[in-house]
A and B are shown apart, each in its own frame.
Chain A
Amino acid sequence: MRDETREFTPAVIADRTRAYVRENFLYMRPDWPLKDEDPLFGGGVIDSIGVIELVGFLQREFGCTLEEDEITERNLGSVAAIARFLHAKCNGGVRAA
C-alpha cells in the first residue's frame, strides 16, 4: 500500500469512480441515472469483463492491491461500496471482508 492512498477520502474515491464508470461504461447512455448506492453489476452497468477493467482502474488510481477474495459484490457492488471499502482498506490497514 502506498502512502498517498491515505489522502483519498470516501468522497474523492466516489467522485473519481463515478466519473470513470460514466466515461467507460455509461458513455452510450449519458441519461442513465447512476446514484452512489445503485448496483453496478446486477443493475447492468458493468458486465463480467468490466469487473476486470474496474479493478484495474481502482488499483491504478488509488494505488492499492485488491486480493482475489476482496473482489466481492459487497466490496465493489456500488460506487458507495467501493468508496467505503477502499477508504477502510487504505486507511485502516485492515483487510475488509
Chain B
Amino acid sequence: MCGVAGIARRRPVGVAAELLERMASAIRHRGPDGFGLHVDDRVGLTNARLSVIDLARGVQPMTNEDGSVFIVYNGEIFNHLALRGELEARGHLFRTRSDTEVLVHAYEQWGERMLERLNGQFAFAIYDRRAGSVFLARDRFGILPLYYAERDGDLYFASEVKALLVTGEVERALDPEGLDEIFTFWAARPPRTPFRGIRALEPGCCARWQDGRLAVRRYYALDYAEAATEPADALEALDELLRSAVRLRLQADVPVGGYLSGGIDSSIVCALAAAGSPLALRTFSVTFEDPTLDESAYQQAVAADVRSRHAVQRIGRGDIARVFPEVIRHTETPLVRTAPAPLYLLSRIVREHGIKVVLTGEGSDEVFLGYDLFKEAIIRLLCWRRPASRLPPRLLDGLYPGIAPASGKGDFWRGYFMTAGSPDDPLFSHLPRFQLTARIKDFYAAEFRAGLGPFDPLAELRARLPAGFGAWSPLARAAYLEITTLLSSYLLSSQGDRMAMAHGVEARVPYLDHRLVEFAAALPARSKLRGLREKNILRRWGEATGLLPAAVARRRKQPYRAPDVPAFFDGRPPEYVEALLDPVSLRRTGIFNPEAVAGLVRRCRAGRAEGFRENQALVAILSTELWHREFLGAPAPALVRARVAGSARVEPAPVETPAAA
C-alpha cells in the first residue's frame, strides 16, 4: 500500500518537482519504503511506497513499454496473477512481478473497462500521455482513499487531503455542509468532505480529466436482488468464497498478520488465515483497562484456538487523550467517537512487530447483518404494524439491556422510536441514529446555524438514493444505507485505512471481496438475520466447518466501543482540551456556542455527561476544534520545509530499467 499524489495542468506550464516532493512528504507515513516522481510539461505524479509485492522492482511511477502510460497506485489487486496470465496470453510483456504493472497493461488492453475485472482495494491515477488525460479510480467500497480538487482547469489529487493543502494552490477552507453531514451521518458523504472545494472520489467511481475538465462516473453499484429462498448450495458457496477471499489476501512478499476483536468475524478471518499460513499467524488486539469495554478473554481464547502469536495494545487511562490530536491529523475529519484512537495505537505495535499487512473482520456486520441497528429496524416495523402488542417493547428491552432504567423501559423505547419516523420514509432504519447524532447541532453557534440556511442532509440523501432502492426489502435498504453512509466514509476511512496507514500498515478486508458481498446481497434477508439472530449463515458455516472457534461461536455481537467523555475527563483534562474548549478559542473558530460548550464541560467535570448525546457532543466539538487548528489554521512554512528536506528523492523507474527501492 502506498500514498499517491499528482497535479495535471490544463496549460503546458509544467509541474515543479519541488511541489510534488512536498505532496509526497505530507503522506510519507503511507509509504516509508520508497518515493518516486514523474514530471513533464503537463502532469506530475508522485508516490510514497510501502513495499508488499515485488519489493525490489515495484517502484512507481511505473510506465508501459513505450513510456506513454504512467501509473501511481495505492493498493492491492488480489487477482493480479490471473489478470497477468490473461494479459500475457494477449501478448503483453511483463518486466516485474508487481500488481502495479498488471494495471498498466490492463489499462492498455481494456481501457476504463479494466475496473470491472479487478478484485482488490485500490486508488490510482493513470496518466495517458498520448490522450493527454488522467484517469482516477477508487475501489468498489472505498477501502482506500482518493481526494481531488480543481482550480482553473488544473487537477490536484492525492490519497490524503494534507497532500493537496501543502501545494498552497488548493484552498484551505471549511465546508459547513460537510461538517453538518458529519454531525448527521458520522462522516461527510462522498464526494463531499469538510473541506470546501476538496472532494472525495466516491467508492465505485472513476473520473477522467482531459482538456481541463473532469468527468466522474460510477462503474459499480450495490444491488440487492434477494432470492425468495436460500439456494440449496448456499453454505458450500459461502465456504468457497470465504476461503478464496482470505487466501487471495494472504498474498504478499512480507508476513501477514490479523486483527482479533473477540467477535466472530475477525475470528473466522484469523482461523482461515492461520490455516493458510506456513508460519504461526501474528494476531493483534486492543484491550481496555475498563472491564465493560474489554474483550480480552475472547481474544485470548481465539488466539489459542488458531495458535497465533498474539500481541495486545492495552488502552489505559489517558491513552486516548494523549494521541487524539495525532488521530485527527490522520483522519482529516472531525469525529463523533474516539473509537479510531485505540486502532491508531494498535497499528503502531503491529509495525513495531515488523508486520506491514493485517487482515481484519471489517465489513461482515454490513454484509451479514450483524448490527443491532438491523434488529432495531425490524422491531420498530413491528411497533408500527402491531401498535397494541406488548411484544415489541419487550424485544426492545432485550436489545438494549442496561441502557435505560430497569424493566418496563420498552414503553420508553416505543415512544422514542415511534416518533423517529414512519416506515414510509426511505431512511426509516437509520432515522433514530441520524436524529440522535444530529443533536450535536444543538451546540452550534447561532451564526453558524444561520449560515447553513435550509441545508438538509437527510433530504439530500433521500434525493440521491439509487433507482431500485424502493423495491428492496427493508433490511436490504438498511444494509445499503449502512454501507454507503457509515462503512465507506467512517469505518473504512477514519477507523480503517487512516489509523493503519498512520504507521504504514496495510489493512485488508476479506468480507469486502465483491464476490462475497454480491453473494450475501442476493441471499434472502432471513439467511442473514433470522428472527433476531444476526449473521445466521456465517454461524451455520462455522458450525458446519468447525472453523469458528468455540469461544465465540455462540457469542452475541458486542459493539466495539472506546471511552468518550471519560477519555478526557477522568481527572484533569489535558491542557490542549482546556485550551480548545476555552470560550475565546471557540469564538475564534465560530462553529460552536461557547456558553453551550461551557455547560457541557461543567457536566463532564461533574461526571454527569453519561448519555450518548453528551458523549458524542464532546468528541465532536473537541475533534472539530483540533481539526480546524490542524488544517485551517495558518500553514507553518518552516515545518513544511523541514519535512521536504528530510525526504529522499528517487527518480522514477520505467519498467525497462528496474531499480532497487
Q: A residues engaging B (CB < 8 A)?
A: 24, 27-30, 39, 41-44, 47-53, 55, 68-69, 71-73, 77
Contacts and interface: CB of A to CB of B under 8 A. Distances in A.
Interface in B575-605: 593, 595-596, 599-600, 603
B405 A68 contact: yes
Contact of A24 (B407, B593, B608, B612): B608
Contact of B403 (A30, A39, A43, A48): A48
Given A41-B416, A49-B611, A27 B596 contact: yes
Nearest to B417: A42
Dominant secondary structure of chain B at its interface with chain A: helix
A69 to B, nearest CB: 5
A43 B412 CA distance: 12
A7 B394 CA distance: 37
Interface string B410-448: 011101101100000000000000011001001100000
A41 B406 CA distance: 16
A51 B608 contact: no
B610 A53 contact: yes
B393 to A, nearest CB: 11
A29 B418 contact: no
A47 B611 contact: yes
A71 B408 CA distance: 7
Given A41-B412, A71-B406, 12 more contacts: A28-B600, A30-B595, A42-B419, A44-B435, A48-B400, A48-B403, A50-B611, A51-B404, A51-B409, A68-B408, A71-B409, A72-B412
Contacts of B412: 41, 48, 51, 71-73
Given A48-B403, A51-B409, A53-B608, A28 B603 contact: no
Contacts of A39: 415, 419
A30 B595 CA distance: 10
Given A42-B416, A69-B408, A49 B612 contact: yes
A73 B416 CA distance: 10
Contact of B406 (A43, A49, A50, A68): A68
A30 B442 CA distance: 10
- Cβ-closest 3 pairs across A and B: A27-B599, A49-B611, A42-B419
A33 to B, nearest CB: 14
14 contacts: A27-B600, A30-B595, A39-B415, A42-B418, A42-B419, A48-B403, A49-B611, A49-B612, A51-B404, A51-B409, A52-B404, A52-B405, A68-B407, A73-B411
B613 interface: yes
A45 to B, nearest CB: 10
Nearest to A43: B419
Give the interface centre of A27, A28, A30 by most chain B CB atoms within 10 Å: A28
B415 A71 contact: no
A30 B593 CA distance: 11
Contacts of B406: 68, 71
A57 B419 CA distance: 25
Nearest to A26: B442
B442 A28 contact: yes
B415 A77 contact: yes
A44 B415 contact: no
Dominant secondary structure of chain A at its interface with chain B: loop
Contacts of A30: 595
B409 A48 contact: yes
A78 to B, nearest CB: 11
Give the interface centre of A48, A52, A73 by most chain B CB atoms within 10 Å: A48
B594 to A, nearest CB: 11
Nearest to A70: B408
A28 B403 contact: no
A50 B610 CA distance: 8
Interface in B475-512: none
Contact of A28 (B400, B413, B418, B599): B599
Contacts of B443: 28
Contacts of A27: 596, 599-600, 603
Give the interface centre of B400, B412, B435, B608 by most chain A CB atoms within 10 Å: B412
B601 to A, nearest CB: 11
A73 B413 CA distance: 10
A49 B610 contact: yes
Contacts of B435: 44
B411 A48 contact: no
Contacts of B400: 48
B411 A72 contact: yes
A51 B403 CA distance: 10
A42 B436 CA distance: 12
Nearest to A29: B442
Interface string B595-629: 11001100100001011110001000000000000
Contacts of B611: 47-50, 53
Contact of B415 (A28, A47, A55, A73): A73
Nearest to B438: A44
Nearest to A49: B611
A6 B615 CA distance: 37
B610 A47 contact: no
B404 A44 contact: no
B409 A24 contact: no
Give the interface centre of A39, A51, A53 by most chain B CB atoms within 10 Å: A51
Contacts of A71: 405-406, 408-409, 412
Give the interface centre of B403, B593, B611 by most chain A CB atoms within 10 Å: B611
Given A41-B412, A42-B419, A47 B613 contact: yes
A22 B412 CA distance: 20
A55 B412 CA distance: 13
B596 A28 contact: yes
A39 B418 CA distance: 13
A41 B608 CA distance: 19
Contacts of A42: 415-416, 418-419
Nearest to B446: A31
A35 B277 CA distance: 65
Contacts of A29: 442, 596
Nearest to A46: B611
B608 A44 contact: no
Contact of A47 (B407, B436, B593): B436
A52 B613 CA distance: 14
B203 to A, nearest CB: 32
Contacts of A48: 400, 403-404, 409, 412-413, 416, 611-612
A50 to B, nearest CB: 6
Contacts of A24: 603, 608
B408 A44 contact: no
A24 B613 CA distance: 12
Nearest to A73: B415
B609 to A, nearest CB: 10
A25 to B, nearest CB: 9
Nearest to B612: A47
Contacts of A41: 412, 415-416
Contacts of A52: 404-405
